[in-house]
Amino acid sequence: ILELRLVQATLFKNVLEAISDLFSKANFDFSGTGLELQAMDTSHVALVALLLRAEAFNHYLCDRDLSMGLNLADMAKAFRCANNDDIITIKAEEDWSDTVTFTFESPEDGEISIFDFDFVGTNGVPLEIPEFPESEYQAKVRMPSAKFMRICKKLSSFGDSGDRDTVVIISVDKECVNFFTRGKTGTSTIVCRQTQTVDKPKEPTLIEMKEQVSLAFDLRYMNSFSKGSTLSDQVTISLSSNLPAVFEYKIAETGYIRYYMLPRIEE
């Protein structure tokens, strides 16, 4: 039996906000330790892995590992009807019904909405995610997630968003991280300087650089990855010339969401 409860729908609403625009379905793995979710976009260019430990839930009962594929678009619709302070209950029996039930209860007027989701196939997930060796990453940048989202939006409005191949070139040296894109009639560069601790900013921009790196990423995917900002106010971007880049958002001591994709390589 699987029975979980969250007294605030906010967390799950934010999870769906962070993944449902790029990923159409996901594999949900429920085990004693918590929920592990994985999804890949239809072109298998991006993979997202989310961990929510059991402690993230107000009630967590899972006496047998349960794995299910769910349609994220349908779930996002259901969650859009939910209010942030609705109590969510997630239940599944292993009665081979291949459905999971989400119940939303609004605390003020006791209205209850019940959604049954049928299990669906998941395109190629779950996959085993190896611990990529730190040494392979030339640079890691930690910055405010709202800042990363703002930069992606600015570059998308400037870049030739009609052109599906518009890239953002992320370059890191020891002082700053640059975001560059080419539009129809010009280019745009946004420079983020590493904040000195003396500035004591609310949210620092920190750079760990082994060697300079400059990589090109599809701007549409960067925009989707920046939606992780619903779950965390910091994003860590790990860049390697020959491994998947990782965009990680730690979810306050209960887990993380990580987006992976390879840089575009000059032909």
Partner 1 sequence: GRKQSTITNYFVRT
Among 109, 128, 131, 253, binds partner 1 (CB under 8 A): 128
Decide whether 118 or 165 has the Cβ nearer to partner 1. Answer: 165
- The answer to whether residue 262 forms part of the interface with partner 1 (CB under 8 A) is yes
Total number of residues shown for the chain: 267
> How far is the C-alpha of 72 from the C-alpha of 238, rounded, in Å?
27
Number of residues near partner 1 (by CB under 8 A): 26
The total of other beta-carbon atoms located within 10 Å of residue 65's CB is 11
Determine which helix (DSSP H) or strand (DSSP E) holds 80, and give its type and residue range. Answer: helix 72-81
Single-letter residue type at 99: T
We find the least distance from the C-beta atom of residue 29 to partner 1, in angstroms, to be: 10
Name the one range near partner 1 by CB under 8 A: 7-15, 38-46, 73-81, 170-178: 38-46
Name the one range near partner 1 by CB under 8 A: 45-53, 80-88, 92-100, 181-189: 45-53
The residue behind tokens 């605030």 is 8
Decide whether 129 or 176 has the Cβ nearer to partner 1. Answer: 129
Site for partner 1 in 214-253 (CB under 8 A): 216, 218, 243-244
How far, rounded to the nearest angstrom, does the alpha carbon of residue 176 sit from its chain's CA centroid?
A: 24
- The answer to whether residue 66 forms part of the interface with partner 1 (CB under 8 A) is no
Q: Are 195 and 206 in contact (CB under 8 A)?
A: yes
Single-letter residue type at 149: M
> How far is the C-alpha of 231 from the C-alpha of 156, rounded, in Å?
22
Residues at the contact surface with partner 1, assessed by CB under 8 A:
40, 43-47, 124, 126-130, 132, 165, 167, 216, 218, 243-244, 260-262, 264-267
